Structure formats: C-alpha cells, structure tokens
Chain A
Amino acid sequence: GALVYQYPRRTICKSGTSMRMECQAVGFQATSVAWYRQSPQKTFELIALSTVNSAIKYEQNFTQEKFPISHPNLSFSSMTVLNAYLEDRGLYLCGARSGSNERLFFGHGTKLSVL
C-alpha cells in the first residue's frame, strides 16, 4: 500500500537553530508534496507546494529563505526550518500525492518544540 514516512516524529531545538524534516513516499510516486504546519490552535497552514519538475510555490507569510524545501525525486522531500523561534512551534505535516486530484497521504508529522 501507499505510505508516507516522516521523520523525526519529535524534535526540540534551541531558539535560533535550525532543524530538518524528511518525508519518504512508499508505494506511489509523489509528484507533488505539500508541507503544512498545524498551529497550537489546530488550524492548518499550507507552507508550500512542491511539484517535481516545477518551481516550489510558497504561500504568503512563508519564504524559501526560512523554509527551504528539497524535492529531488518522486519519493523524497525535505524541509528545513531555519533559525527557529517560538512562533515556529507546531506540528509539521507533509502530504504527498501522485496527481492533482488524488488523495493526499500524510506522514505522521514532526512536532517541533523550540526552547
């Protein structure tokens, strides 16, 4: 079956440092990967949408300079949170799918805590 592995599951970093999270798609081709952040208030924000062979599209309030994303092939994507601060806390989710109208498969999420 189709799965998305996301790691690490939890991470704690010091304020001002950076952390990287990765997603691995298994059983399907992840032509597009969406990175979301769920705030402590439980709302979802789309950070960026990455489609293989296309430019990564960042949503308003999110930039490549802060959240660089790599999507080098149809099974892997990574995102780094640079210079993390308290406002970056939350659950980061990657969702991958093989087509624009296919279901999104989510990883387990990476819970980021910032000290």
Chain B
Amino acid sequence: GDSVTQTEGLVTLTEGLPVMLNCTYQTIYSNPFLFWYVQHLNESPRLLLKSFTDNKRTEHQGFHATLHKSSSSFHLQKSSAQLSDSALYYCALSHYQLIWGSGTKLIIKP
C-alpha cells in the first residue's frame, strides 16, 4: 500500500544552521500530491508546502522542497534555522486521502 517515510524522529540543530528533513514515499499513483505540514506546540497542523510537479522547487516562509518522482522524495529544507522553527513536521501524500508520515520533531537551540 501507499506509505510515507520520515527517517528522523528527532532533529536537533543550532540556530543558523541549515535544515533538511527527509521524506520518501511509495504510491501506485503516478501523479501524487505531496505536502509538508507543520505543527507547533498546542496547535493543529497547518500546511507549509505542497507540490505535484516533478522537479519543481516550491517555497514558503523560508522553507523549500522539490518533488523528485525518480527517487520518490520530497525533502524539506531551509538554509538557516530559526528558534521559531522548532515544531513537529509531517510529510504527507495525497490521492483520495492523506497518508501521513510519522513526523519529525525539529528542535532549534540558540
């Protein structure tokens, strides 16, 4: 069946360093939609990025990701981490429903 894999459960970084959160997926569909959701403490998840176009970079709020269908990946990146980026990040795959990854907790330290 379809699945989304986020290999890191916890990522701890120092402020100012680059961020990369991994996301790979499996699906039988040739045109999936991929999403990154961010969930801050005591809040519900909100959409950060989405993409369905192969090899096209999508950006929002300093974060970017590129869907690579050849490697079934949609890694989330940011050039310089900020303290406010500390949150849970979920990668998700969509066709008729959302398939969630297990989430990556990102902690940014001063």
In the bound assembly, the distance between CA atoms of A63 and B46 in angstroms comes to 27
Q: Does A95 belong to the interface (CB within 8 Å)?
A: yes
> Chain B residues near A106 (CB, 8 Å)?
44-46
Q: Which residue among B45, B46, B95 has the maximum number of chain A CB atoms within 10 Å of its CB?
A: B45
Cβ contact within 8 Å between A95 and B94: no
Q: Does A46 belong to the interface (CB within 8 Å)?
A: yes
What residue of chain A has the Cβ atom nearest to residue B32's Cβ?
Answer: A101
> Chain A residues near B46 (CB, 8 Å)?
106
Cβ contact within 8 Å between B44 and A46: no
A103 and B97 in contact (CB under 8 A), knowing A42-B103, A43-B103?
A: no
Cβ contact within 8 Å between A101 and B95: yes
> Chain A residues near B94 (CB, 8 Å)?
100-101, 104
Q: Does A93 belong to the interface (CB within 8 Å)?
A: yes
- Interface size on A, as a range, is 10 to 19
Chain B: minimal CB distance from A50 (Å): 11
In the bound assembly, the distance between CA atoms of A108 and B33 in angstroms comes to 23
Cβ contact within 8 Å between A44 and B97: no
Which of B44, B47, B96 is close to A108, meaning CB atoms less than 8 Å apart?
Answer: B44
**Residues 37-56 of chain A, each 1 if its beta carbon lies under 8 Å from chain B, else 0:** 00000111010010000000
Q: Does A109 belong to the interface (CB within 8 Å)?
A: yes
In the bound assembly, the distance between CA atoms of A109 and B43 in angstroms comes to 8
- Cβ < 8 Å to B, chain A residues 6-54: 32, 34, 36, 42-44, 46, 49
Cβ contact within 8 Å between A34 and B103: no
In the bound assembly, the distance between CA atoms of A100 and B98 in angstroms comes to 9
Q: Does B78 belong to the interface (CB within 8 Å)?
A: no
What residue of chain B has the Cβ atom nearest to residue A51's Cβ?
Answer: B96
- Cβ < 8 Å to A, chain B residues 83-110: 88, 90, 94-98, 100, 102-103, 105
In the bound assembly, the distance between CA atoms of A95 and B35 in angstroms comes to 14
What residue of chain B has the Cβ atom nearest to residue A57's Cβ?
Answer: B97
B: residues with CB less than 8 A from A are 33, 35, 43-47, 50, 52, 88, 90, 94-98, 100, 102-103, 105
